[in-house]
Amino acid sequence: NRENLRQLLLQLDDRGYKAYRDIKGSYQFTDFTLIIDRVQGDPFATPSQIRVIAPQSVAGFPTQLYQTPAREIALRDYLTRKFDSVVKNFSSHRGTGNSGLIAITYVGQSVLERTCVFVTDKSVEVRFIVGLPGRGRSISGRQAGEMLCEDIPLIVNQALKYSSLNAKAIQDHVETVEDAEWLRQELPKRGLVAFIPDGAILPRTSGVDDRPLSDEAVPFQSPPSLRVKFTCPNRGLVTGMGIAKGVTLIVGGGYHGKSTLLRSIELGVYNHIPNDGRELVVTNPAAVKIRAEDGRSIASVDISPFINQLPQNRSTRQFSTTNASGSTSQAANIIEALEAGTELLLVDEDTAATNFMIRDRRMQQLVAKDKEPITPFIDKVRQLYTDCGVSTILVMGGSGDYFDVADIAIAMDNFQPQDVTKEAKEIALKYRTERLKEGGDKFGSINPRILLPESIDPSRGNREVKLKVRDVDEVVFGTEEIDLASVEQIAERGQLRAIAEAIVYAKRQYINGESALPEILDGVMGDIESKGLDILSNLPEGDFVKFRRFELAAALNRLRSLKVK
Ligand code: ADP
Ligand code: MG
């Protein structure tokens, strides 16, 4: 119990830091169980992993707050944020290195399923890290006792008991997420791929601060012709702009809010916290942001719908490179998204390769088709919809050639959308582009690749599995670094943590030299869906965050060692 732990820590005082490993185990406190799962080896190492499990008889959360999956995830998210704000008051420097640190996994503006908090009928469980205090290499036992035996009960009281929390804020959190989830499920019934509600605040504080821009933000206002209405389960009537299936163009002058709108749509695959400004912006969950990404590696991707007859007669049906160009990387990103099952492509001219997007009449005249390997996106975007059922939302302020292939054109004007479809179509008739159509009448089929297990190796030196994650940009996988800086729909570092483990899991369970990538993704995602993220590790980890199949595929696809059959 608590007194045993305190006594133990006092006995350890001044001994070598490694002796802390004796405290591993489970302790019964008055209100909860404290479990020490992993003990750090020195004060500078990754802090120790701790769990608190409080029975519902103590925690006291009403069932309605967690009875559906959406509500449960929202409540867990709320408690994560609450725990984070409470432990900040207790976390302090108490010696060398991380001594005195108490922290829960980092969370941003999204509401995601994470392994730091669980809520069931029986209990509330929280996983967090503690920097066990030391002076140099020796144990500060008394201070450790204060942290574990005094502070943690206070933290539990303040952060995990329903009676001490703001019931209204929790209700709002849960209901907002439920409404967003509901809206996302309604989209296909209305033939939509995205919805942006009136009043939404899309711009962010800064490029490095994802919170809403406060004062100067112009709230979103839908154009009447694109306005749709929903009656949400909690909030009731919500109006806003619906973006239908097909090809949608977002045009407008520079700095008028095009990219900001697209960015909100990209992240609309996730739910957001109340007052984020984008909490009811919802997007088809199979939406994938596509961009150019020169320098990435590509493993046997059939990019022939877009690129053919490369110099030196290199095949593009099984195109591999260690250093892709802007256009080949963008082509591969699209084909890989299709292979993984995307239903909506999101493209912004700011991050697209120009020669991949457009090729006008004059250039067609100067450089004959047999000298140009690239069939531009403009000739494929409609086929993607008619042949593959995949919609596109495209930000394009720089070329009116796209008027011919768009179903809808939305102009951003002073951060407000206007429906300019009619004008764009009239202009397209009046000023013909005289372009020649390129690349044939069919998009062609996607042949899923079969991954070779021996090409995916997480080992390094004498370690069977070596994984490390840097921010949302990079995974160290064995001896390789997977660069995910251009995979823009990764919202939290914990998603990368989980993706790294998921690759190892996939290799153990599904990558056998016979299964194609979509089956592998189905297998891993299905297991996580039915058994939870904890299947990805042996020890209970507190910093796994739910990810999508598309980001798992993106990580696999960027593994430089990857080979396919
Ligand atoms: P574009 O892609 O059309 O060039 P951006 O979306 O990059 O424009 O927006 C330009 C700037 O305007 C950014 O700093 C962005 O944060 C800001 N901004 C975007 N939308 C709004 C809005 N609704 N209210 C206020 N500022 C906005
Ligand atoms: Mg832009």
Question: Mean pLDDT by 10-residue block, N- to C-terminus, for the chain (565 residues)?
Answer: 94 96 96 97 96 98 98 98 97 94 96 98 98 96 96 97 98 98 98 98 96 95 98 98 98 96 98 98 98 98 93 89 97 98 97 97 94 95 98 96 97 98 98 94 94 97 95 95 98 97 98 98 98 96 98 98 96
Instruction: Tell me which residues have their CB within 5 A of the ion that is ligand 2.
Output: 258-259, 350
- Pocket flag, ligand 1, residue 431 (CB < 6 Å): no
Ligand nearest the Cα of residue 263 is: 1
pLDDT score, position 312: 83
What is d(CA 352, CA 331) in angstroms, rounded to the nearest whole number?
Answer: 10
For position 215, what pLDDT does the model report? 87
Nearest-5° angle of CA 170, CA 124, CA 528? 95
For a substitution probing ligand 1, which of 201, 216, 260 has the most ligand atoms within 8 Å of its CB? Answer: 260
pLDDT reported for residue 310? 85
Distance CA 181, CA 74 (A): 11
Q: For residues 382 and 453, what is the distance between their CA atoms, to the nearest angstrom? A: 36
Q: Distance, CA 253 to ligand 2 centroid (Å)?
A: 9
Give the residue, by CA position, lying nearest to ligand 1 atom 10: 255
**Cβ of 259 below 6 Å from ligand 1:** yes
For the stretch 308-345, what's the b/e string if a residue is b when 16 or more beta carbons lie within 10 angstroms of its beta carbon? bebeeeeebeebbbeebbbbbbbbbbbbbbbbbbbbbb
pLDDT of residue 313: 82
Q: Which ligand is nearest to the CA of 214?
A: 1
CA atoms within 13 A on the CB side of 2: 15
Atom of ligand 1 nearest to the CA of 256: 3
Report the atom number in ligand 1 closest to the C-alpha of 350: 2
CB-CB contact of 104 with 126 (8 Å): yes
Angle, helices 326-340 vs 517-531, to 10°: value is: 60
Return d(Cα 255, Cα 412) in angstroms, integer: 9
* Amino acid (one-letter) located at 356: F
> Looking at ligand 1, which atom is closest to the CA of residue 216?
25
Counting from 1 in the atom list of ligand 1, the atom nearest the Cα of 263 is 6
Q: How far apart are CA 133 and CA 140, in angstroms?
A: 5
CA distances from 395 to 166, 200, 241, 361 (A): 41, 19, 16, 21
Ligand 1 centroid, distance to 346 Cα (angstroms): 18
Q: Are 338 and 271 in contact (CB under 8 A)?
A: no
CA of 250 relative to ligand 1 center, distance in Å: 13
Element (H, E) at 183: helix 167-186
ipTM higher than 0.90?
Answer: yes
Instruction: Give the C-alpha separation, 530 to 173, whole Å.
Output: 25
**Exposed, middle or buried: residue 57 (CB in 10 Å: 0-12, 13-18, 19+)?**
exposed
Please work out whether the CB of residue 202 comes within 6 Å of at least one atom of ligand 1.
yes
Query: What pLDDT does 314 receive?
Result: 83
Of 108, 78, 104, which Cα lies nearest the Cα of 91? 104
Answer whether 370 contacts ligand 1 (Cβ < 6 A).
no
Atom of ligand 1 nearest to the CA of 348: 2
pTM higher than 0.90 = yes
In this structure, the residue with its CA closest to atom 4 of ligand 1 is: 255
Q: How far is the CA of 255 from the centre of ligand 2 (A)?
A: 7
Task: With both helix axes pointing from N to C terminus, report the angle between 517-531 and 493-509 in degrees, rounded to the nearest 10.
Answer: 110
Is any atom of ligand 1 closer than 6 Å to the C-beta of 216?
A: yes
Task: Looking at the CA of residue 261, tell me the nearest atom of ligand 1.
Answer: 6
DSSP per position, 296-340 = --EEEE--TTTB---GGG--STTEEESS--HHHHHHHHHHHHHHH
Is residue 236 exposed (0-12), middle (13-18) or buried (19+ Cβ within 10 Å)? exposed
Residue closest via CA to ligand 1's atom 5 equals 257
Please tell me the distance between residue 261's alpha carbon and the centre of ligand 1 in angstroms: 8
Q: Is the CB of 82 under 6 A from ligand 1?
A: no
Reported as half-sphere exposure (CB side, CA atoms, 13 A), residue 196 has a value of 25
8 A C-beta contact, residue 291 and residue 351: yes
DSSP strand pairing (391-395 vs 247-252): parallel
Nearest CA to ligand 1 atom 26: 217
Residue 559 CA, chain-centre distance (Å), reads 18
**Nearest ligand, CA 349:** 2
Nearest-CA residue for ligand 1 atom 25 is: 217
